[in-house]
Structure 1
Amino acid sequence: TFHPGRFEPIDPGKNKDHTRELVGFAPWAITEHCGKLRSGFSYLKAFQDYGGTPEEIANAQANVIYIMGVMGHFVGDCSQPLHVTKHHNGWVGDNPKGYTTNKTIHSWIDGGFFKKTGGINPESLAGKIRPARIVGDPLKPEDLFRQMMAYLQQTHALVEPLYQMNKDGKLTPENPKSKEGREFLDDQIVKGGQMLGDLWFSSWQQATEDAYLIRQLKQRSASSGNK
C-alpha cells in the first residue's frame, strides 16, 4: 500500500515544499542512513585511535549524532501506522466499514491522544526495551533493506486495526476502553525505539576501518614527530 505508484498524482498547488515526491522511500532512506552512520563511526574511530585532534574528534562525534538523529525521525515515524499508508489523514476511497475520514486523526495519534492520557512516560517504556542486537548481515548488503521492508510491513498491517480502535472509541480518552488504545500506541513507540537502537548498535559494530584516513593520520603523526 505504501508503494509510490499506488498514490494519487501530485497536485503542484499542494506541494510547494516539494516533499510529496518522496512518498514510499522510507526503507531506502533508513538503509542509506545506516551506511552513513557506519561510515561516520569508521572515521570517528580512526580519529580517536590514531591521533585525531580534539576538534577533529568533536566534529566526527557531532556528525554521528546528527545522522543518528535523522535516523530517529525515519525509524520512529515508521512505527506509527498512519505513516505507512495512503490513509494517513483519514480513510480515503472505498470505505465499507465506515472508518473515520476526519483529517485530524493523524495529529491526534501523533500527539493529541497522548497529551489527553497523561503524556509519554519514558521510564515505563524503557522497561520494555531489550538489549540491542545486530540487524542485517554485513556480507549481504540487501539483507538490511529486506529487514527494513519487513519492519514497515509489520507497521502497515496495523493500519486497519488502528482505524477500528478509533471507531470503537478506544482512542477517545473519556472512554474506559481507551486504555487498550494507549497500550497499542505505547507498544508502537517501543517497537520504533527498539529498532532504532538495534540499527545504531549494528552500525557501530559493523563499522569497518577507514584505511585511507588511518594511513593519512599515521603519516601526519610521523611527519610531526620528525620536526
Structure 2
Amino acid sequence: MRQLLAAVTAGLVALLPQPAFAWGERGHAVIDTAAIHAIPADGPVFLQKHVDYIAASASQPDGWRGNAEGFSKIVEDPNHGWFREQFTFLKTIPRSRYEFVLALYDQHLRIRASDPETAARTNVRWTGTLPYAAMEAYDRIVVCMRQVRRLAGEGRDPAFAERNCAFDVTRLGHYIGDAANPLHISVHSDGWRGENPDGFTTDRSVHGRFESRFVDLIALTPADVRARIGAPARQTGDMFDHVLRYVDASGDKVRQVYTLEKRSGFADANDRDVRELVHERIAAGASMLRDMLVRAWVESARPPAQITPAPLDFANPAFNPATGSAPAGPR
C-alpha cells in the first residue's frame, strides 16, 4: 500500500486495468492528487500532508455500493450519478435531497398508468443524487475546517480534525470526480439507450472502457493535467448552482464520448482526441475539487450563519411538512 501511495503522488503509478464504477483507482487518485497540490498558499494547505491517504482512499465510496451491503448500497448508489434526462419535468432542482425524492415519486404516480416503463425509472435510483451528495460532503468539510481553525487558534493540536477533513475530502473528491465523467450525467451511462440514429454502441462495457481501460492504457498521471488546472476560480455566488452548472457542462459531452468510441472502442492509446477528452475531463474534476476546497476554507473563517427560524422550526416560512425541514438556503 505504501508503494501505491508513493507512486500515485509522484505520478508514476502503473495499475493493471480492472472493472470499476468510476475513473478506476488511477483516475480518481489523479483528480484528488492534482487538486490538492494545486491548493494555493492561502488555502487549506494542511490537506497536502494527507494527499497520500486521500489518493489511496479516492475510490472508497465505490466500495459502499456492494450488493451484499444492502443498506449502504441503497443510499450510496444514487450518489454517483445524475441522469438528467430522467427529470426534465422539473423546472427547478429542489434544494433538498428529500424534496427531490418526493418530486420524483409524485411524477411516478402521475405517469405509472399511462407510461409504466418510464414510471419504473422515475425514482431516485434511476435519476441519481450526485449534486446533493457533493453538497453534503462540502458542508461537512466546512464544519471540519472550522474546527481546524478553532483548535489552531486556541494553540491546540488540530491533527485529528485535519484527518477528519481528509476523510471528507475523499468523499467530495469522489463525487466531483464521478461528475467529471459525462457518462455519469446521462441515462446513456452504460451504452446508448432508446432511439439511436447515429449507431452508438449499446455495449454496457463502454463505461469501463472509457474511464478505466483507456485511462490505464495511457498511464495517466497528475503531471498530465497539472498545467490545465490554472489558478483558483475564487468562486462567489451559490455553491449548489456552481455544482449544477459543473455537472451540466460534463453531461453536454456525452455524445462526444460515444462518437469517439466508434473509432477504436477506447483501445488505442495513440488516439489523441480521446486522450485530449480524458485530460480535459480529469483536469475539470481536479479544478472543481480544488476550487470547492478553497471556497470551503474561506467559508470556515466565518461564523456559521444564523438561520431564524431554524430549518426544523414549523414557523420557518420554507418549512415543508412532507420532509420535516426547510430546504437549504443560498450560500
Q: Does 1:126 align with 2:200?
A: no
Query: Where does residue 158 of structure 1 map in the other structure?
Result: 253
1:168 deviates by: 3.3
* Inter-partner Cα distance in structure 1 for 2:222 and 2:301: 33
* Inter-partner Cα distance in structure 1 for 2:137 and 2:256: 30
Query: Where does residue 120 of structure 2 map in the other structure?
Result: 9
Higher RCO (CA 8 Å, separation ≥ 6 residues): 1
What TM-score do you get using the length of structure 2 for normalisation? 0.54
Query: Where does residue 41 of structure 1 map in the other structure?
Result: 145
Q: How many residues align?
A: 193
Residue segments in structure 2 that go unaligned for 5+ positions in a row: 1-82, 89-117, 305-331
SS in 2 for 1:95: coil
Query: Where does residue 13 of structure 1 map in the other structure?
Result: none
1:37-186 matched pairs, under 5 angstroms: 37-52=141-156, 54=157, 57-116=158-217, 118-137=218-237, 143-169=238-264, 171-173=266-268, 178-186=271-279
1:3 deviates by: 5.6
Which of the two has higher C-alpha Rg? 1
Which digits, 9 at most, give the CA deviation of each residue in 1:59-107, with x for residues without a partner?
2111111111110000011000101111111101111111000111111
**Structure with the largest fraction of helix:** 1
* Inter-partner Cα distance in structure 1 for 2:128 and 2:249: 15
* Inter-partner Cα distance in structure 1 for 2:195 and 2:233: 41
* Inter-partner Cα distance in structure 2 for 1:210 and 1:63: 20
The amino acid of 1:171's aligned partner reads: F
1:5 deviates by: 4.2
1:127 deviates by: 1.9
What TM-score do you get using the length of structure 1 for normalisation? 0.76
Summarize the Cα distance change of 1:23–1:30 in structure 2 as closer, same or farther, 3 Å threshold: same
Residue segments in structure 1 that go unaligned for 5+ positions in a row: 11-19, 138-142, 212-227
SS in 1 for 2:228: coil
Q: Is the 8 A contact 2:213 2:266 kept in 1?
A: no
Summarize the Cα distance change of 1:181–1:129 in structure 2 as closer, same or farther, 3 Å threshold: same
* Inter-partner Cα distance in structure 2 for 1:4 and 1:62: 38
The amino acid of 1:107's aligned partner reads: G
